[in-house]
Amino acid sequence: MSKSNLISPDFTEDNVSLMVQILLTIPRFPRAPFALVPLSKSDEVIYGADAYIDSISPLYIQFKRSFAYPDFSASKIIMDRKILKVNYSPKTLFFDLRDKQPTHRDYQHNVLFDLNAKLEASGQGKGFYTAPLFLNRTAYLKAVHLASIFSWRIWHWFMDEPFYFKTQNIITRTGTIRFQNIPILKEHIVIPPHVKVTTHKHRYSYLETGSEVCFHEPTKIEQDQNLGQIIYDYLKSQDGQPTTQMTNLQESISLLNSLQNDLFEQNQSEQKESIIGRWLQFGEKLRTEYDIFQFMLIKLKYV
């Protein structure tokens, strides 16, 4: 890939994962017995190891950061988009796929593809890439800070304030959180892995608006998705229940076995873990080995 005119972000993928986690987990679900939390051994303290979980629905996210080329660049990404006759002005954003490490059984992209394909087929969850449409750390942090303020639950006290309704309208009177109305989440593109690969030498490109997505074989991908809308669709409820299919925790071991699918070797001590303990172990291994974050929509028994 040509480095000519390459514009690099001044923040890391770890910054992206932290910012998104803040936005997804701070707004709890007022008046509803649900929460969306990262689920791995590292995050166990968020809800407590002895939480009484009734049912779950997994969500897998690979956090990326966007690089960019201006429209006058001679880079292959700009050339590909010209061939495909899609827009590339004033600049094109993109991210690369990750190479397979010596200890990995498959490419990270393919692992995420399999997770998403199995969950989408059963309606039990999702898996996707997400990347901010920002290149500047200061602008990114400011946008996240403002979004956190406006999505804070104290806004329930000011539900009749006209400023609230005209600018945000994030939390409804019934307690539903309109994630699609949180500006910063709309400024994160979402791309589900759409095909398996045999090399990491591919990339996804898109405009600053998050539209006109291309996969660099090259081919155009007919999808324009943002994180706010995806999370809202994932969490939206009907008759007090999420439309996403929840799996009873005690019956979730078959789903876990399907998702693991010999991806990691299990020792005897892990097999003796509780069901939630095995989910925690799986989330930890995904994050450690493949940098894929496991989130879980959970319903608690005691609420």
Q: What does the DSSP 8-state code read for residue 240?
A: T
In this structure, the number of other CB atoms found within 10 A of the CB of residue 167 comes to 12
**DSSP β-bridge partners for residue 69:** 92
Higher pLDDT, 1 or 14: 14
Share of the chain above pLDDT 70, in %: 77
**DSSP β-bridge partners for residue 59:** 126, 295
In the prediction, which pLDDT does 273 show?
Answer: 81
In the prediction, which pLDDT does 171 show?
Answer: 54
pLDDT band at 65 (very low <50, low <70, confident <90, very high): very high
Summarize pLDDT for 108-128 with one digit per residue, the tens: 999 999 999 999 998 899 999
In the prediction, which pLDDT does 207 show?
Answer: 96
Contact 76, 1 (CB under 8 A): yes
Mean pLDDT (the chain) is 81
pLDDT band at 12 (very low <50, low <70, confident <90, very high): confident
pLDDT at 140 over 90: no
In the prediction, which pLDDT does 135 show?
Answer: 86
* Cβ-count burial 54-79 (b if 16+ within 10 Å, e if not): bbbbbbbbbbbbbbbbbeebebebbe
pLDDT at 202 over 90: yes
Q: Which residue has the tokens 């950061």?
A: 65
Average the pLDDT over 139-149 and give the result: 66
Contact 223, 191 (CB under 8 A): yes
Average the pLDDT over 21-36 and give the result: 65
Q: Which residue has the tokens 């827009």?
A: 87
pLDDT at 44 over 80: no
Angle between helices 275-285 and 253-260 (to 10 degrees): 20
Higher pLDDT, 248 or 18: 248
pLDDT band at 272 (very low <50, low <70, confident <90, very high): confident
pLDDT band at 302 (very low <50, low <70, confident <90, very high): low
**DSSP β-bridge partners for residue 68:** 7, 93
pLDDT at 51 over 80: no
Summarize pLDDT for 204-254 with one digit per residue, the tens: 999 999 999 999 999 999 878 999 888 888 877 555 566 678 899 889 999
Tell me how far apart the terminal alpha carbons of the chain are, to the nearest angstrom.
53
**DSSP β-bridge partners for residue 95:** 204
pLDDT band at 158 (very low <50, low <70, confident <90, very high): very low
